[in-house]
Amino acid sequence: DTAVSQTPKYLVTQMGNDKSIKCEQNLGHDTMYWYKQDSKKFLKIMFSYNNKELIINETVPNRFSPKSPDKAHLNLHINSLELGDSAVYFCASSPPTSGRFSSTDTQYFGPGTRLTVL
Amino acid sequence: GIQVEQSPPDLILQEGANSTLRCNFSDSVNNLQWFHQNPWGQLINLFYIPSGTKQNGRLSATTVATERYSLLYISSSQTTDSGVYFCAVGWNTGNQFYFGTGTSLTVIP
């Protein structure tokens, strides 16, 4: 059984388009995240989301918006795509610690979505 | 933010050899994790080790938080160990979680 799944696995689109990446976890975790990995393999956290509390990395453009319909899903919507948005996007989830979420709890990653903006 | 540096950046090993990967970080943290990204891109959590030593099979890790570094030991390396090893550090609150630049390991048969 897949613990953290993402769709699509590959996404090729034109500049200016709007696209979404879906993430689902079946681990019963309370906290979910989105990460961006650039072409040099550098990983950077974009968002963490726990029980309707969203923490945004201030360096992320507001064209990126996470949406969580329920605890098991955290989707990433991107407006007006730019060339620099090309990257691999990873979703992750983690269990709660003492009732509070923490971005440093043990994290389980999805397989990634490779986004290419032409 | 915190600077996280890993060394060496690249490492090539013969199968069966041992290796030590290092992670230095620029500020006090109370959480640290090691990850392995395999050649297919999958990220796997290896250790959650804010301090002390842990072992899991051929892998072990030691973090000396007061001196701001962590070490990952790989013994009797296998070709399946190939990939990129990341160290990530942060605190127990908020959204601050910083990845290092990674060590790319290639194990040749």
> What is the band of A2 on the pLDDT scale with cuts at 50, 70, 90?
low
Query: What's the CA angle centered on B93, arms A35 and A93, to 5 degrees?
Result: 40
Tell whether the model's pLDDT for residue A74 goes beyond 90: yes
CB B95 to CB A44 under 8 A? no
> So what's the pLDDT on residue B96?
72
Q: Which residues of B touch A107 (CB under 8 A)?
A: 33, 45
AA identity, residue B104? S
Per-range mean pLDDT, top range of A42-51, B12-21, B87-96:
B12-21
CB A100 to CB B93 under 8 A? yes
> What is the band of A96 on the pLDDT scale with cuts at 50, 70, 90?
low
* pLDDT (tens digit per residue) in A8-41: 999 999 999 999 999 999 998 888 899 999 999 9
Mutating which of A2, A36, A43, A97 best tests the B interface, going by the most B Cβ atoms within 10 A?
A43
- How many Cβ pairs within 8 Å bridge chains A and B? 62
Q: How confident is the prediction for chain A on average, in pLDDT?
A: 88
Q: What is the DSSP letter of B7?
A: E
**Which residue of chain B has the CA closest to A91?**
B43
A75 Cβ neighbours under 8 A, 6+ residues apart: A20, A21, A22, A23, A66, A67, A68, A69
Q: How confident is the prediction for chain B on average, in pLDDT?
A: 93
**Is residue A103 a contact partner of residue B96, using CB atoms and an 8 Å limit?**
yes
**Is residue B82 a contact partner of residue B105, using CB atoms and an 8 Å limit?**
yes
pLDDT above 90: percentage of residues in chain B: 84
Tell whether the model's pLDDT for residue A52 goes beyond 90: no
Q: Which residues of B touch A108 (CB under 8 A)?
A: 45
Average pLDDT rounded to a whole number, residues A57-83: 91
Average pLDDT rounded to a whole number, residues B47-76: 95
> So what's the pLDDT on residue A30?
83
Q: Is residue B91 helix, strand or coil?
A: coil
Closest CA to B88 of A85, A102, A88: A102
CB A100 to CB B88 under 8 A? no
CB A111 to CB B99 under 8 A? no
Distance CA B85, CA A85 (A): 24
**Which residues of chain A form beta strands (DSSP E)?**
4-7, 10-13, 19-25, 31-37, 43-50, 53-56, 64-70, 73-78, 87-94, 108-109, 113-117
Residue A109, CB-side half-sphere exposure with 13 Å CA sphere: 23
Tell whether the model's pLDDT for residue B81 goes beyond 60: yes
